[in-house]
Amino acid sequence: MSGKQKVCYFYDSEVGNFYYGQGHPMKPHRIRMAHNLLLNYGLYKKMEIYRPMHAKYDEICRFHSEEYASFLKVITPDNMADHAKQLQRFNVGEDCPVFDGMYQFFQISAGGSIGGAVKLNRKQADIAINWAGGLHHAKKCEASGFCYVNDIVLSILELLKHHPRVLYIDI
């Protein structure tokens, strides 16, 4: 590859405000901390910074079942008692708790990853970064390992629109 590589970086300042709950190891405020390091070290000068579009319901349903995506859209800490069977069915509970604004958090996470894939597909970037992404444990019909929406699968599906194969390595 000749010349300078184009780097796109997706960040939404709201992402650090989400809270999985006391004692939970997933801490979205760490994404804000990483962003602040990027600013303080001047790394932002070497990339294009974008605020991710929120992934839409139909984009989430490109991988996840409509029933599961609909559940994620409506579940809140205030209505959990009304959805006890679905909580169990979709594996939402201890590792994957219900928290305020969780659907918006997934939309930001998935939106940044999909947006990065679009930039790569359009050759507007050589490298795409989304620190709010990488939530690859979510399954088609259930949450798993702190992950509810699998932004990695969604971004790979986007990449497959222009590329015959995609290699994903989790490091």
In angstroms, the CA 169 to CA 114 distance is 17
Strand pairing partners for 144? Answer: 147
Task: Supply the residues annotated as catalytic.
Answer: 137
Q: Shortest CA distance to 100 belongs to which of 13, 18, 25, 31?
A: 18
Question: Hey, is 148 helix, strand or coil?
Answer: coil
User: In this structure, are residues 28 and 19 in contact, taking their beta carbons and an 8 Å threshold?
Assistant: yes
What backbone phi and psi angles, to 5 degrees, belong to 119? -60, -40
What backbone phi and psi angles, to 5 degrees, belong to 47? -150, 165
Residue found by looking up tokens 């971004």 in the block: 155
DSSP letter assigned to residue 4: P
